Chains A and B, each alone.
Chain A
């Protein structure tokens, strides 16, 4: 289920140059004893967004989140939330709440006390606290569990208590550190959509840290891909997947077949890349900011390549290879093809027919073809 149809086109403030960002991270750097965990990151996040910071371990995504929460102070740069400079404000005075990866539920308090903890710090009347706690318990479907202690709950229930506790103070911004990381696959998929629903109902801005790209793709309005303390690319899930801006992003999100080549033809409406690895000239049907003779990379997603026994008519990009291995995944099959150049290529094919006897088998020689706009030209 894509996230996209749920938001109208006009609800994408990042496409509107006049929109005012809600969170503004300006040139933030964080060093731990000379090692930069986050270096010179600038980021603008808008009201109501569900922004995912995606990266591997050590990419600096958690450090960035902890700086937003106030647990770490930036070495350089500023953080603004809702127009106010928060760089030096301690965590207990920020209009921000965080849901921890370990959930960090207080073990000596029951579910209700956990959820009420933040409200009690604000000197809210006891009756109102009770009412808000009940609302939150209903929101996360735990109305019966108020008196339980955290260790009497399952992993999924704990996760929901942690979410309710983080939402209790009605923060303008909620930070979630690997919110689904500790759940098993099935539960994760269910919870994912529940999380989006809650976010949309309450209209709170979410910033989610995750290393799971599927999670990021299905949750996020926009994704910021992080690599070695820097933002590699910011964009909507489709942008990140279909139009990666670098080899790192192309490889990190999904899988990509990467070909190295040299530009032989550079026109305003198309370019041609000569690639020994591909075994053919790659025709790209749009102009690219590059120079003739420039060495660059061309990446194509496995599902964008078509396999056939006969040479397809009229295809501009065709090369040949031998089926080396087939992985059957149920809904799709993954073909490992060895091109004549020796290059391994990964192709996925949807299994649209049941028990297809005519499917391409091991050790067959096949044609690989793709459309002129199927791949991405990468110069970095």
Chain B
């Protein structure tokens, strides 16, 4: 392609548009001034203040617990669903079912949150469980959308995998369970890890769905930030946001790297094209 100024400029503008707000937030988190938008010198004092705030620390701990639990449950459920749909004999409506699993990815959070809230209320009045809204209901809610992500990631890895690897292991005397442990799991492991990390990050990020299904005393970190913002932007929120950006970037980065590593290794397709 011909070298020119137009495409590089467009790219630079696009990236500026995306990242300027984030960069300014990170920069101002090191601002010494109490006024967020007035720079008066470098300081880490807002980070210090942040780690002295029990409300924020508590909310952060809760968010991490919820993210860990819901990503882990979603990993198991999403993987099972992916295996069921990929490995099952072709049947009518398989494509539709696969589409339905990934629908929560595009569903507006408000609707997901509202529908879950209605379900929890109805369940409580019918079976008495879950009793009230709290950590448990947030974990269940997060599991539902994390599962969709895990499903998509694991499914694409399974589709890529040469089924004759499993058949070969079975042929050599491995029972179906052994085949799963010895062959399938190690081969899809990168997808499992990246699915889990993706779920963990998304759960950590979520505000809307959590707000619907949380109860008293179970405010997640995004909810605390949001409520603090309503009282005016304070610099310690900038510091907190910077930490979250760092964590999320790390999670997404590792997940993507694992995903790419899985794709680049040519062995899953060895010999397949020669038919």
Contact = CB atoms under 8 A, between A and B. Distances in A.
Interface string A50-75: 00000000000000000001110000
B173 A69 contact: no
Contact of A121 (B178, B183, B272, B274): B178
The bracket for how many chain B residues form the interface is 20 to 34
Contacts of A165: 168, 172
Interface of A: 69-71, 90-93, 96-98, 100-108, 117-118, 121-122, 149-151, 155, 158, 165-166, 168-169, 181-182
B274 A181 contact: yes
A119 B190 CA distance: 28
A158 B274 CA distance: 14
Contacts of B167: 69, 71, 91, 98, 100, 104
A118 B165 contact: no
**Shortest 10 CB-CB contacts between residues of A and residues of B:** A118-B172, A121-B173, A107-B267, A102-B271, A104-B168, A104-B164, A182-B274, A151-B267, A108-B186, A100-B164
Interface SS, A side: loop
A158 B174 contact: no
A104 B162 contact: yes
Contacts of B271: 101-103, 155, 158, 182
Contacts of B169: 106, 117
B265 A121 contact: no
A166 B173 CA distance: 11
B183 to A, nearest CB: 6
B92 to A, nearest CB: 11
B170 A101 contact: no
A100 B186 contact: no
Interface in B218-241: none
A117 B183 CA distance: 11
Residue among B164, B168, B174, B175 with the highest chain A CB neighbour number at 10 A: B168
A33 to B, nearest CB: 9
Contact of B173 (A101, A149, A158, A169): A169
Contacts, number: 88
A48 B267 CA distance: 34
Nearest to B161: A107
Contacts of A100: 164, 167-168
A352 to B, nearest CB: 37
Contact of A151 (B170, B178, B266): B266
A168 B164 CA distance: 18
Contacts of B168: 98, 100, 104-106, 165
Given A92-B175, A98-B171, A151-B267, 16 more contacts: A69-B167, A69-B171, A91-B171, A92-B174, A103-B270, A106-B165, A107-B267, A107-B270, A108-B186, A118-B172, A121-B172, A121-B174, A149-B267, A165-B168, A169-B173, A181-B275
Given A97-B172, A98-B171, A104-B162, A158 B270 contact: yes
Of the candidates B169, B171, B173, B265, the one having the most CB atoms from chain A within 10 angstroms of its own CB is B171
A103 B168 CA distance: 9
Contacts of A149: 267
25 contacts: A70-B171, A71-B167, A71-B170, A92-B171, A92-B172, A92-B174, A93-B173, A96-B171, A101-B164, A101-B274, A104-B162, A104-B164, A107-B268, A108-B186, A117-B182, A121-B178, A150-B267, A150-B270, A151-B267, A155-B271, A158-B271, A166-B171, A168-B172, A181-B274, A181-B275
B187 interface: yes
A90 B176 CA distance: 10
Contacts of B165: 104, 106-107
Given A121-B178, A158-B271, A182-B271, A97 B171 contact: yes
B104 to A, nearest CB: 32
Nearest to A115: B172
A101 B275 contact: yes
B172 A107 contact: no
Contact of B170 (A91, A105, A155): A91
B90 to A, nearest CB: 9
A70 to B, nearest CB: 8
A153 to B, nearest CB: 10
A102 B171 contact: no
Contacts of B268: 107
Interface in B131-188: 162, 164-165, 167-175, 178, 182-183, 186-187
Interface in B229-275: 265-268, 270-272, 274-275
A155 B274 CA distance: 11
Contact of B270 (A90, A102, A166, A169): A102
